[in-house]
Amino acid sequence: MPAGLKDVAARAGVSIKTVSNVVNGYVHVAPATRARVQAAIDALGYVPNMAARQLRSGRSGVIALAVPELQSPYFAEIAGLIVQAAERRSWTVLIDQTDGQAERERDLVEGLRRHAIDGLIFSPLALAGEELALRDGTPMVLLGERVWHGPADHVAIDNTAAAADATRHLTALGRRRIAAIGVQDRPSAVTAHQRLAGYRAALAEAGLPVDPALEMPADGFHRVDGAAAMARLFDLESPPDAVFCFNDLLALGAMRTLLSRGVSVPGDVALIGFDDIEDGRFSTPTLSTVAPDAPRIAQLAVDLLAERLSDGPAAAGAPRELRVDHRLVARESTSG
């Protein structure tokens, strides 16, 4: 006969209610107790009756994740980490791609594309403020830089500080003509605005002037954009001796242009990116970068959503703004 809640409770030495709380993902369970219950579940091979659980709770056990693009290694990594965190709560994740288009993001928040989901984790690019309020009251957690002080819990890193750290790394190497690749003028390009601000702040700190010719626009944050931007930089009369790229894909494209022109990295040009994607760890040279704590971002997003779905005080509390740490990773593209 399959093991039941009573069997798990007896083996773990806890009440049936405690086992139920662990199975249903309630956050207010002591870590040691949760571990003991999970060990009993694993030992007995207990499998929750999902249909009965959903009927009792009125929930589907399904959440949605919406990101701008899945071809981006950063968003792909975040999606995978969120799926893993959700699996630990026996949740299924539906993944949607918005392409950063206002109409698709608006459809999402107005409920046209959601089907019996318990909550939403959403990284918006086009919408902001109250436009992001879900019409049916479904719990939501926001990711990324687009929204601060919005209608839902929000998890992000400090992009301005992180960009300043990347640029500061280059100034500490003695580089004095430092370019930036990834500048974007449109209002929705908040990530680019914040990283440009951090870049400028670090230049000012080092006593270096801001040179508009070195602030290179990019239509997108992909390899082809980085390659084209670097080619324009090296058509200048005075090319840069270092470049901060607003993400790693831009940096990898820029590196290709440099190497194809016989420019030494980092001998002639030091290069740093942002995101710490896997490709940068295997490029030649390996890519220096800023590494957001992606596992922490994913875990926090799922935990915040679970709190909103619980019956505890957080369920109806005010939206929370949580910042996640980042670290600078120096590799061969800056240190040789």
Cβ–Cβ under 8 Å, residues 119 and 94: no
With b for 16 or more beta-carbon neighbours within 10 A and e for fewer, the 265-289 pattern comes to: bbeebbbbbbbbbeebeebebbbbb
Give the contacts of 29 (CB within 8 A, at least 6 positions apart). 18, 21, 22, 37
Helix then strand count (H, E) for the chain reads 13, 12
Low-confidence ranges of the chain (pLDDT < 50): 51-52, 55
- Rounded-to-5 percentages of helix, strand, coil across the chain: 45, 15, 40
pLDDT at 336: 64
pLDDT at 26: 67
Can the peptide bond before residue 2 be classed as cis, meaning omega within 30 degrees of 0?
A: no
Q: Structure tokens of 29?
A: 């369970």
What pTM was estimated for this model as a whole?
Answer: 0.80
pLDDT at 240: 97
Note the pLDDT tens digit of each residue in 278-328.
Answer: 999 999 999 999 999 999 999 999 999 998 888 655 666 788 899 999 999
Give the contacts of 305 (CB within 8 A, at least 6 positions apart). 63, 119, 121, 139, 140, 141, 153
Q: What are phi and psi of 215, to 5 degrees?
A: -95, 95
- Ordered DSSP codes for 38-67: HHHHHHHT----HHHHHHHHT--SEEEEEE
pLDDT at 55: 45
Q: Which residues pair with 180 in a beta bridge?
A: 215, 244
| Parallel/antiparallel/unpaired status of strands 289-292 and 326-329 | antiparallel
Q: Structure tokens of 205?
A: 């700190």
Cβ–Cβ under 8 Å, residues 218 and 184: yes
pLDDT at 51: 46
pLDDT at 131: 77
pLDDT at 135: 62
Residue 133: count other Cβ atoms within 10 Å of its Cβ.
Answer: 14
Q: Which residues pair with 322 in a beta bridge?
A: 155
